[in-house]
Structure formats: structure tokens, C-alpha cells
Amino acid sequence: MPTEQVLKKKLKGITTTRKISKAMKTAATVKYSQLSAVYSGYSEYAIQCRELYGIFGNDFLNEFLSVKPDAPVCYIVMASNKGMCGNFNTDLFNYAENLLSDENERKELILCGEKTIFYFKNKGYESVKDYIFSDVPRFSEAKSLCDDLRALFSEKEYSSVKIVYPQYVNMVRQYPCVKDLLNPESAHSSNADDMLFIPDKETVIKQSSEKIVESMLYGFILETAIGAQAATVMSMRSAYDAAVEYEEKLESEINRKRQSRVTADVIETFAEYYRDEE
């Protein structure tokens, strides 16, 4: 049986854990609220961009992707910058590794997030670009990634660009998935005869395609960020509740041992007193 001193040391450690988990839960909750506001405000713009892609999709595909069937696939893997978010990163990394294990497919890798970079570099994967986004990402960060992608596309030809990321469903559910950045199935060719382009179609398509890709990338980055904070909130909430429960259990056990010690001291004192009286 552990002594009272051992239990007190355990209680001190659990109390520290409770305080840390509460602080981290509070910080993650604040960031989650900020991201929720950004996500809600951005959603209308994202909807308009998706509708525009539905109209001019095939024209946008020609701006970015190669028509060669043997061109490599570009995988962009997104996860969080930090840990303490349960299985959020682990599930995504296992899912991504399973996708990357196909040896019949030529592929190149872009890594986003501190944990992503650390994990895949340690596994021996090589990447063409690495990115670390803010906990509350800005649109300019997506624009930077889009600019670099266009530069990469001018140097190398890709048959498709696949985003591997944790799709956000709600506060308690995020799951890894893969989506085409530019999905040919949802794209259509524009009917130039029915539309007026100013100054010309080529200029409009070129500039619009950049905005569309920036919008899509920012959406994936936001989903990853909001999912990471949601997972952190839930993980730290569980850690805090467990620490509180264990803290109460230790305090109760310490009190019982203290009471037993005091009772034993009283009995011993009375025993000595009666021996002296005899």
C-alpha cells in the first residue's frame, strides 16, 4: 500500500496536470471560436467559387494539370502543428501512408503542419515543399501555397492534385479523407458563345483559376485548423475530467490514511496513559 507521502506526491502531479489541461482546453476553445467565426464568414465566398468552378471547371483544369496519363500525382498532406489532440494526427498519418504505399503510382509530396513534416521526414519521405500555417490561418497563407503550386506546375507536370486532410464534421467528429483539388467530374466546359469576356476569355480564365484554387486550398486549411482545435478541446476536456476524478480519489485516500494515523496516535496515547496509571 502506498504511504501518505507517496500519495501526496501523486496528488501534486495530478493537480499540475489538471491545471495544464484546463489552460490548454481554454486556449483551444478560444481558437476554435475564432476559427468558427472565420469559417462561417468564408463559407459564402467558397460557395460562389465552387459554382464558378462548376461552370468553367474544364478551362481551369487546363491551367493547372497535365493531360499526360503518366504524369505524377501531387499529394498535399495536412495535419496540425501541435499534439495533445487525441488521435487526430495519428489517424491522418496512417491514412496518408496507406495512400502513399501504392508503388504503381508516381507521386510527389507537399507537407503542411509541424507534426506532418516531423512525422514524414522521420519516416524517410521526401517532399518538394513544406508549409507551417498559423493556428488561425489567414487567406494570404493559402495564396502563398497556391503561388508555389503554380510555380511547381510550370516546372513539373502533374496529372492530379490530391489533398489528404482531416475533414471536419462537428466538434466531436473529424475523419481523414482524400479529395481532388480540381475534380474533373464536377467540372464543365464553358460555352463561350453565350458569354462576354472582358478583356478576353484567356485572361479571365487565368485570373479566375488562381482565385478558385486559392479558395479551395484555404477551405482545406481552415477545415484542418478547426478540426485540430476541436480535437484538442475534446482531448483536454477528457484529460481535465480524468484529473479531477483522480484528484478527488487521492484526496479521499489521503484523508483516510490521515484519519487512521490520528486514530492510531490517540489509541497509543491512551494506552501509554493507562500503563502509567497502573
Q: Pull the grid cell for residue 162.
A: 490530391
**What is the CATH class of 26-233?**
alpha beta
What pLDDT sits at residue 278?
57
Convert the pLDDT of each residue in 141-153 to its tens digit: 888 888 888 777 7
Lowest mean pLDDT among 35-44, 115-124, 225-234: 35-44
Answer for the pair 107, 71: CB distance below 8 angstroms, yes or no: no
CA distance 178 to 176: 7
Lowest mean pLDDT among 19-23, 67-71, 136-140, 210-214: 67-71
What pLDDT sits at residue 237?
92
* Average pLDDT taken over every residue of the chain: 83
Mean predicted confidence (pLDDT) in 114-118? 94
Chain-centroid distance of CA 70 in Å reads: 32
Mean predicted confidence (pLDDT) in 95-114? 90
User: Radius of gyration of the chain from Cα atoms?
Assistant: 28
What pLDDT sits at residue 110?
94
Q: pLDDT grade, residue 103 (50/70/90)?
A: confident
CA distance 50 to 17: 45
Residue in the structure block whose three cell numbers are 478540426: 227
User: Bridge partners of 253?
Assistant: none
- Residues whose CB is less than 8 angstroms from the CB of residue 179 and which lie 6 or more positions away in sequence, other chains included: 162, 163, 165, 220
Convert the pLDDT of each residue in 28-73 to its tens digit: 999 999 999 998 888 888 888 877 777 776 776 666 665 566 778 8
Mean predicted confidence (pLDDT) in 194-204? 73
Convert the pLDDT of each residue in 253-270 to its tens digit: 888 878 887 777 667 766
Convert the pLDDT of each residue in 76-95 to its tens digit: 999 999 888 889 999 999 99
Break the chain into its structural domains and give their ranges.
4-17+236-277, 26-233
**HEC secondary structure over the chain:** CCCHHHHHHHHHHHHHHHHHHHHHHHHHHHHHHHHHHHHHHHHHHHHHHHHHHHHHHHHHHHHHCCCCCCCCEEEEEECCCCCCCCCHHHHHHHHHHHHHCCCCCCEEEEEECHHHHHHHHHCCCCCCEEECCCCCCCHHHHHHHHHHHHHHHHHCCCCEEEEEEEEEEECCEEEEEEEECCCHHHCCCCCHHHCCCCCCHHHHHHHHHHHHHHHHHHHHHHHHHHHHHHHHHHHHHHHHHHHHHHHHHHHHHHHHHHHHHHHHHHHHHHHHHHHHHC
What pLDDT sits at residue 184?
59
Q: Pull the grid cell for residue 265.
A: 496516535
Nearest C-alpha neighbor of 34 from the set 160, 222, 216: 222
What pLDDT sits at residue 11?
87
What pLDDT sits at residue 225?
93
Higher-confidence residue of 167 and 171: namely: 167
64-73, 103-112, 237-246: range with highest mean pLDDT: 237-246
Mean predicted confidence (pLDDT) in 220-248? 92
CA distance 126 to 108: 8
Checking if the pLDDT of 140 tops 60, the result is yes
What pLDDT sits at residue 92?
95
Q: pLDDT grade, residue 130 (50/70/90)?
A: very high
Backbone phi and psi for residue 69, each to the nearest 5 degrees, phi listed first: -65, -25
